Structure 1
Amino acid sequence: MTALKSGRITRRDPLQPRLLFDPMPGRIQPALALLIHKPPVGGSWGWEIKWDGYRLHVHIEANRVRILTRGGFDWTNRFPAIAEAARTFAPTSMILDGEAVVVDEEGRSDFSLLQKSLGASGRKIGNQPSPALLYAFDLLYLDGHDMRHVEYRTRRHLLEETLRGHEGAILLSEELDADPTHLLDHACRMGLEGIVGKRQDSFYRSGRTGDWIKLKCTQSDAFMVVGYEPSTASRAGFGALMLGALSDGELVYVGSVGTGFKERDAVQLRKTMDKIPWRHKQPPVPYSSKRKVVWVQPTLIAEIEYSAWTADEKLRHPSFKGLREFQDNADVCRLRGRRA
């Protein structure tokens, strides 16, 4: 029998392209949309509906799926429908950027329905699986290639091709070819939260860079719960939540919210506040009113919808939408120089 011999090793042709593969990042800080109050003039933008839910990155590999929150926590078990849909893409490896939502009967994303589906209450992690869907709007990694240094228009094209033909709980967030002024008006008339614009020639940059922008129909932000007003008329035992925002790194009082609570949720919220270890007569924010308030350690973050700010920097017509969980790493509202 003739012995097997390896072939002669030759040098690589320098004209032949070298195929490089990028390892999948363990976690990517998300790109965030900058709030603006009127559509930009000029530039090339892609426009989508603004979804009202939880921002997620879905990491899909041959042997596993990970669903990470904006804060980097693994919530794979909390979104089984999204995880199951993600597994159908294997062995393709990818990272999808999107928003987990629960939609109402009209097909609109509803943050309170999402919270209820998760069994969420403040810092407590719910145990029940959520039927939430993922609206995917960006592709950050694909089959060994980091896509963050690829223009958005190309990432978008690849995302559409990747999702084409797949069914389940991962859907494409459709890009809408329309004038943003008319699009925003239509979104508001439909009861949606607003629209998001993305610069077509931009790379994927973490943080609020201005490459992504958002226009809202109604204003909504996250605020710290710093206390509550007791009430004997309410079964929950409180009449309103006291809210705080950040100004130059310090918490300041921005008003109270007493509407938007469902009775059952309000009772659970009071139980959650009663479990907070620190309650004191001294407020954690500058406060001069004589109203009776039970002050609590600022650990809970509430999503509040409101119409505007008053002249003395208080929320106008606030309404409670739900508690955000600390794993979501929600941005507490910053006053950005509104105060003197």
Structure 2
Amino acid sequence: MPKGKGRLTFVPPMLPTRVPEPPSGGDWIHEVKLDGYRSQIVINGDDVRIYTRTGIDWSSKFRDLVEAARALGLDNAIIDGETIVTNEAGLPDFAALQKAITQRQRQHDLYLVAFDLLYLNGQDLRELGVEERRDILQGLIRPGERIQFSEAMPGESDALFYLIDKAGMEGMVSKRRGSKYRSGETRQWLKTKSFVVSELELLGVQRESGKAAFALLAEPDTRRYVGSAFITLPLDIRERLWKRVQEHAGPQPRGMKKRPATQWVKPGVKLRIKHLRGDHSHIRHASLLGFSDEE
């Protein structure tokens, strides 16, 4: 809740609950889930701040977006959205976003896609339904600017998600019509994420007592580390995996930091990994499906 007379401050955002399939029926509106950083614009006249999902002030990292928000000419407002960078195909590129944040000369690559409005010119809008808040927000944003509006998609949810998946997008957010804005996780907003399956090379397995085991993974050709995946396979497959690790035991790969309770392996063990769609230089939310040579 904003504090101080007439001055707005960061509000913890409303967070969608992850579900395996999007909800059906006419009670929902659907938007593309963009692969970026959740961002909140807080405007108090010329004083404009942009915060991360957890309330960290990143205004200095988003200087061009701060100027774009100032150009909206609002007395005060809180706008909820996602900061992104797009690639040549026009799709959000998370790796490019990280570079743009750290490299001053790439600030012009940043865009903020706005999808909700919490406050406007002294009025608390959180008690309004999501469609009303979005209608007001859309009226504030000029097409073609650095701050854009997240359009809702017409159609059935399963068909929309199929198209989003085929287009290579991260997923979809579904919002219940009439839902009020409430900080924290809620089932009034639901997110359905798109996953892909990749073949990656095993670098090693880390198994610490009392903790979940996970596989350390690399690109098949370069052996460059790209992340890890939890090992949640059935017992018989886990036993086969550990047997292969022992058969291919090798030295710690060059460039890898020491890790406790890790058995490194030589090249040659390929795995099928399910992970979030996005940049392959660092996989996220990954899980091990099995061996690629046992299909």
SS at match of 1:140: strand
Change (3 A) 1:261 1:183: farther
2:215 aligned partner: 255
Change (3 A) 1:202 1:91: closer
Deviation per residue, 1:120-155 (Å, 9 max, x gap):
xxxxxx655532100000101111112222211111
Q: 1:192 aligns with which of 149, 169, 176?
A: 169
Distance in 1, Cα, partners of 2:157 & 2:27: 12
Q: 2:11 aligns with which of 28, 33, 46?
A: 28
Q: 1:202 aligns with which of 179, 187, 193?
A: 179
Distance in 2, Cα, partners of 1:116 & 1:261: 24
Distance in 1, Cα, partners of 2:220 & 2:148: 30
TM-superposed CA distance for 1:254, in Å, is 3.0
Answering whether residue 56 of structure 2 is matched by residue 54 of structure 1, we say no
- Asked which structure has the greater CA Rg, the reply is 1
Deviation per residue, 1:53-97 (Å, 9 max, x gap):
111001122121101111211111212221121011124311111
SS at match of 1:161: helix
Distance in 2, Cα, partners of 1:137 & 1:242: 41
Answering whether residue 118 of structure 2 is matched by residue 140 of structure 1, we say yes
Distance in 1, Cα, partners of 2:54 & 2:187: 21
TM-superposed CA distance for 1:167, in Å, is 4.5
Change (3 A) 1:166 1:188: closer
Residues 24 and 141, structure 1, Cα contact 8 Å, conserved in 2: no
Identity %: 31
Letter of the 1:153 counterpart: E
Distance in 1, Cα, partners of 2:272 & 2:7: 43
Q: State the superposition RMSD in angstroms.
A: 3.7
Residues 196 and 275, structure 2, Cα contact 8 Å, conserved in 1: no
Change (3 A) 1:129 1:71: farther
1:90 aligned partner: 73
2:131 aligned partner: 153
Deviation per residue, 1:217-269 (Å, 9 max, x gap):
2169xxxxxxxx9xxxxxxxxx858789xxxxx86333222139999xx69x9
Tell me which stretches of 4 or more aligned residues in structure 1 moved more than 4 Å: 126-129, 239-244, 260-263, 288-297, 317-324, 332-335
2:51 aligned partner: 68
Residues 76 and 83, structure 1, Cα contact 8 Å, conserved in 2: yes
SS at match of 1:156: helix
1:316 aligned partner: 273
Change (3 A) 1:243 1:51: farther
Letter of the 2:69 counterpart: A
Distance in 1, Cα, partners of 2:114 & 2:191: 17
- Normalising by structure 1, what TM-score? 0.61
Residues 62 and 91, structure 1, Cα contact 8 Å, conserved in 2: yes
Q: Which runs of 5+ in 2 are unaligned?
A: 227-241, 261-270, 288-295
Q: Which runs of 5+ in 1 are unaligned?
A: 1-20, 120-125, 221-228, 230-238, 245-249, 270-287, 298-313, 325-331, 336-340
TM-superposed CA distance for 1:196, in Å, is 0.9
